[in-house]
Structure 1
Amino acid sequence: MTEETEDSNKPPKRGLQNRHVQLIAIGGTIGTGLFMGAGNSIHFAGPAILLVYLIIGLFMFVMMRTIGEMLYSDPKQHTFITFITRYAGNRAGFFARWSYWLTVVFMGMAELTAVAKYIQYWIPSMPGWLIQIIMLVVLTGVNLIAVALYGETEFWFSMIKIVAILALIVTGIMMALTGFKTPVGDVSFGNVFNHFSLFPNGFGNFINAFQMVMFAFVGMEFIGMTAAETENPREVLPKAINQIPWRILFFYLGALFIIMTIYPWQKIPANQSPFVMVFQLVGIKWAAALINFVVLTSAASALNSVLFSASRNFYALAFQSKAPFLQPFRKMSKTQLPVNAVLFTSLMIAISAVISVIPAVTNAFSFVTSASTDLFLMIYILVLIAYINYRKSDDYLSDGFLVIAPKIVVPLAIIFFMFVYITLFFNPESRIPAIGSTIWLIVFGSIAARQPKKALK
């Protein structure tokens, strides 16, 4: 191994503008789960789901601030994973580099599968594998042409999600103010608080809601990487990260509050999208198609970000290893893009198209993607540990983008992420993937433990 990082050579071109990062930052905090899974999460926790989102949002903000502070101190870096190697040790860095890259690739495969299903809503006769290949070719092209094109694409993907949520919130407020009646009762802000109970479906379901909501936030750390791709990362990064709490309050809590204003929370079905239900109420007959379009762009946005993030991490990984097979992935295009890293990442994600035509492998694939998602919690914990060590190092920038009360909030965030991981073992649906991710931790952790304690010179 070597201490050399991705900035040892020409770094990827910084082609993103401030408006790109700000919209990507907003879109990055809004997952597909809000549109499709809000009914299920409300079913689990009732109005207390607002508290669950608030708590998780707070700790994700702490984690993002630690990434922001380290990137601010060294804006040459294009991936936060580098800091794990630097401040948590080479062995932890080895585990994080490979685990994060593979986890993000599996996330991309899952999003590509989702994209195919959403497109088949309109074109049911088109094979899923063909849709996946076409979409992957298009988004790979976006990532190979210029960073600015990636930014522009994400800008409009994010805009679609934002407009959909704004439309829901405005519609709900107008309904409440005009005394609109639904088949299940009046639209009223009081619907949220009527028969309020912190654990309406039991304490166990309230706890299970944490793991459901947690994975709606997975991928938020991509924001740090996009900010690092701007001409002025030290100016853009604090703005993008500091606005996260307001976005969570407005887009997540605002949308959920309005949904429960329109429908009494006790009567919201778990298996339907509340967004579809609301837009159908106001006479939009094609509401299902509209929300399908929104979640399609959301999944495509996630896939686009996966290609961007995973390729940067693989490019960095090539510089942090002396393995001969990784050296070609140091190559940069004439437009200063990690071309080989993008192509290889895309090729790995394309395996999803092969899996989709082999029914026997589908269940195994679902298991692997679920297990890999759990690994994000481990990566977040390693980021926080690296941050604690960063504050003790000579690199610590005392007048930088500082975390507030780090000695209190960072250890609390570590405990919280560990708590969420432990809860996975108490839910029958998440238990087996949690066991799988634990096996990964043990097996790959033992491989990482055999690496040099310090990076080789």
Structure 2
Amino acid sequence: MAEQQNADGTKRELTKRHVQMIALGGTIGTGLFLGASNSIMKTGPSILLVYLVLGIIFFLMMRGIGELMYHDPDKHTFISFIGKYLGDQVGYFAGWTYWLGIIFVAMAELTAVSKYVQYWFPSWYTWAIQLGVLAILVAINLIAVGLFGEAEFWFAMIKITAIVVMILVGGFMVFTNYKTPIGHASLGNITTHFAMFPNGFMSFVAAFPMVFFAFQGMEFIGITTSETKNPRKVLPKVINEIIYRVLIFYIGAIAVIMAIYPWNSLDPTQSPFVQVFQLAGLKAAAAVINFVVLTAAASALNSYMYSAGRHFYQLALDTDAKFMRHFRKISKTGVPARGILFSAALVLIGPILNSLPQISNAFTFIASVSSDLYIIVYLLTMMAHRKYRQSQDFEPDGFLMPAYKFTSPLVIGFFIAIYLSLFITGDGIWPALGGLIWTVGFMTIIKLTTRKQGIEAGVDIND
């Protein structure tokens, strides 16, 4: 088959299996392998409801993004639709906000990767691990998009294998009423002493933003479309499979965990997978899960480098700033190499900041703010989708968001509710305020700058 190449030089090398695994890799991360114990302890068995509700919301969001990308599969990022349908200023804000969010989350992932490696090699220097890992992943991204897809395929395969094995082992333990040091494996462990809000209603509410951020990254499918072979054939199938992945790999895994390990007996500081495998008699459980979590973090970092390069390339196309013109070129291998390298250079600043006691807390705060800003970007994306539906561009025969008149306001309302919940869940209030300050400040600066330019050109934008 002849190589498919876009007009700007990027290449459509990602296959269906690549995109499927990228979607899965973006959905399943360290939030499940490490953070699920804390969520279960706070919410009890009703955590299954939290995952189900958020799984449905994210699926509907992806159907909205899918409809946009199906309409115009040449867009390098779904953020482009925000500028097209909500205005250049809002699109500019969303583009920079999402890119900076990726950079800060990538910084955090790089720091985590070094800690996982030091589990086996405690004498290795942190900076050397981080530099080596980032160099490898950047090289993967620079060589060809197909190599990135292949790397993500195998990263995701490791995560899937770990979850499937845990579900099968756990299912066997439940079916045989396996006796463990803390009791018997049984579905009764989920329902015994069941309470909808065992730690109070506010703990239940607090679980929603925690699980929300665990799903963060699912939207990466909307960044691969312009480099995917036959996107209008692949995209609908991959997105429609999301809900099944959520049911099996999140809800299925957590149900098995609670059936084996009574939810109120879990150690919130330890991976639930480690605890389950240890009860099953796997002595090397901690080492095995550390390897899985390492690959999960490396997978996330690999995806962030891919995404950051494409978003910075798109930002370069959308602005006339002289500095940004250098990033409009596509390399001979068909990737935005300069955007990838510039993003990687900034990511290396993160570990340095995180190692300084005076700055470490500020770094953590900024990373939290960037995560909260993702909610605002998701919200703007869904608003852009509504504008698309009302425009002449709308394709009634396209890949449509189901029951749009009901589901669209539902998703938008839910995102607003999630952001508001950050103000009543303790530690979330300051990052949430930081997110609002960033949004208002950024948009104010854009409007003032645009107004000044208009006046200098002899045009008042208020006229």
TM-score normalized by the length of structure 1: 0.96
2: CA distance, partners of 1:194 / 1:358: 47
State the match for 1:332 in structure 2. 330
Match of residue 297, structure 1, among 273, 295, 318: 295
Q: Are the aligned partners of 1:66 and 1:403 in contact in 2 as well (CA < 8 Å)?
A: yes
Amino acid at match of 2:299: S
State the match for 1:80 in structure 2. 78
Q: Are the aligned partners of 2:189 and 2:262 in contact in 1 as well (CA < 8 Å)?
A: yes
**Secondary structure of 1:215 counterpart:** helix
The CA deviation at 1:445 is 2.1
1:399-418 paired onto structure 2 within 5 Å: 399-418=397-416
Q: Are the aligned partners of 1:228 and 1:237 in contact in 2 as well (CA < 8 Å)?
A: no
1:385-419 C-alpha deviation (Å, 9 max, x unpaired): 00000001111111000001111111111111111
State the match for 1:170 in structure 2. 168
1: CA distance, partners of 2:384 / 2:377: 10
2: CA distance, partners of 1:109 / 1:17: 29
State the match for 2:200 in structure 1. 202
Indicate yes or no: 2:275 matched with 1:277: yes
**Secondary structure of 2:214 counterpart:** coil
Q: Are the aligned partners of 1:90 and 1:451 in contact in 2 as well (CA < 8 Å)?
A: no
Q: Are the aligned partners of 1:85 and 1:91 in contact in 2 as well (CA < 8 Å)?
A: yes
The CA deviation at 1:358 is 2.2
State the match for 1:116 in structure 2. 114
State the match for 1:146 in structure 2. 144
State the match for 1:312 in structure 2. 310
The CA deviation at 1:232 is 0.5
Identity percentage over the alignment?
A: 53
Q: Are the aligned partners of 1:227 and 1:240 in contact in 2 as well (CA < 8 Å)?
A: no
Amino acid at match of 2:193: H
State the match for 1:255 in structure 2. 253
The CA deviation at 1:293 is 0.7
**Secondary structure of 1:221 counterpart:** helix
Higher mean displacement: 183-192 or 318-327: 183-192
State the match for 2:428 in structure 1. 430
Indicate yes or no: 2:356 matched with 1:358: yes
Q: Are the aligned partners of 2:181 and 2:279 in contact in 1 as well (CA < 8 Å)?
A: no
State the match for 2:457 in structure 1. none
CA spacing shift, 1:280–1:247, aligned 2, 3 Å: same
Amino acid at match of 2:116: Y
1:340-419 paired onto structure 2 within 5 Å: 340-419=338-417
1:225-256 C-alpha deviation (Å, 9 max, x unpaired): 22432121101100111000000000000000
Q: Are the aligned partners of 2:40 and 2:263 in contact in 1 as well (CA < 8 Å)?
A: yes
1: CA distance, partners of 2:448 / 2:7: 28
State the match for 1:94 in structure 2. 92
The CA deviation at 1:436 is 1.4
Higher mean displacement: 27-36 or 166-175: 27-36
Tell me, which stretches of 5 or more residues in structure 1 are unaligned? 1-6
1: CA distance, partners of 2:318 / 2:9: 14
CA spacing shift, 1:210–1:148, aligned 2, 3 Å: same
The CA deviation at 1:35 is 0.6
The CA deviation at 1:8 is 9.7
**Secondary structure of 1:429 counterpart:** coil
The CA deviation at 1:354 is 2.2
1:349-392 C-alpha deviation (Å, 9 max, x unpaired): 11123224422211111111011100000000000000000001
The CA deviation at 1:451 is 5.8
2: CA distance, partners of 1:53 / 1:11: 40
1: CA distance, partners of 2:45 / 2:34: 18
Q: Are the aligned partners of 2:16 and 2:234 in contact in 1 as well (CA < 8 Å)?
A: yes
State the match for 2:220 in structure 1. 222
The CA deviation at 1:438 is 1.6
The CA deviation at 1:452 is 4.8
RMSD over aligned Cα atoms: 1.6
State the match for 1:235 in structure 2. 233
The CA deviation at 1:285 is 1.1
Match of residue 321, structure 1, among 312, 319, 322: 319
State the match for 1:56 in structure 2. 54
State the match for 1:264 in structure 2. 262
1:43-64 C-alpha deviation (Å, 9 max, x unpaired): 1111100000111111111111
The CA deviation at 1:10 is 0.7
1: CA distance, partners of 2:285 / 2:315: 44
